[in-house]
């Protein structure tokens, strides 16, 4: 794979107040691509889903660490890797099914569906007892007349 043009990373605790922090951080990093408002919103929405999964599912009974790595590639692709060291997912294919959730009544089971429909690529790697890594990729359109 080609080397990233730019890279940043943050680590935060799995507290729900950090959902907004993670969204804003990703949006801020993505701003250098000169994305449209729609593109920024898609990125924020997908990040929100990935980070919420860590908070709700990875650490159900405790507070743990979540890392988010942001990388920018030369073809205007943004890659966001959200990683936790929590309980992991036994059956990733099942977890990705629409409406499937192990959460309470405040969860819709649509998190992965939203990530998939808003991103160009969603990869999930998980090992029970070890944690989960979700990789989101989104190519941002090059705007005519946009400076770099």
Partner 1 sequence: MAVTCTGENRVLRAVVSGEVDHHGAKQIMGELERSINAALPRSLTLDLGEVSFMDSSGIAVILRAYRRLGELGGELKVCNIPEQAGKVLRAAGVDRLVSFE
- The piece of 41-49, 63-71, 84-92, 140-148 that touches partner 1 (CB under 8 A) is 41-49
The reply on whether position 20 binds partner 1 by CB under 8 A is yes
Q: Within its chain, how far is the Cα of 43 from the centroid?
A: 8
- State which residue, 20 or 146, has the beta carbon closest to partner 1: 20
44 scored as a contact of partner 1 (CB under 8 A): yes
Among 32, 36, 38, 141, binds partner 1 (CB under 8 A): 38
Q: Is 105 a catalytic residue?
A: no
- Distance from C-alpha of 51 to C-alpha of 20, rounded to nearest angstrom: 10
The H-or-E segment that residue 10 falls in is strand 6-13
Does residue 61 belong to the site contacting partner 1 (CB under 8 A)?
A: no
* 67 binding partner 1? (CB under 8 A): no
Q: Is 107 a catalytic residue?
A: yes
Contacts to partner 1 from residues 87-106, by CB under 8 A: 98, 105-106
Q: Are 5 and 33 in contact (CB under 8 A)?
A: no
3-state secondary structure at position 70? strand
Binding site for partner 1 (CB under 8 A): 16-17, 19-20, 23, 38, 41-42, 44-45, 48-49, 52, 55-56, 98, 105-108, 110-111, 113-114, 117-118
> Catalytic site residues?
49, 53, 107
């Amino acid at each position: 794979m080609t080397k990233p043009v730019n890279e940043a990373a943050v680590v935060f605790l799995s507290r729900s107040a950090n959902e907004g922090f993670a969204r804003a951080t990703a949006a801020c990093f993505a701003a250098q691509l000169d994305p449209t408002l729609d593109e920024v919103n898609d990125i924020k929405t997908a990040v929100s889903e990935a980070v919420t999964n860590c908070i709700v599912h990875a650490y159900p009974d405790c507070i743990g660490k979540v890392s988010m790595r942001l990388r920018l590639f030369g073809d205007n692709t943004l890659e966001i890797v959200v990683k936790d060291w929590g309980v992991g997912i036994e059956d990733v294919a099942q977890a990705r099914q629409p409406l499937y959730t192990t959460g309470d009544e405040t969860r819709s089971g649509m998190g992965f569906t939203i990530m998939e429909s808003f991103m160009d690529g969603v990869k999930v790697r998980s090992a029970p007892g070890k944690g989960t890594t979700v990789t989101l990729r989104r190519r941002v359109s090059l705007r005519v007349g946009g400076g770099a």
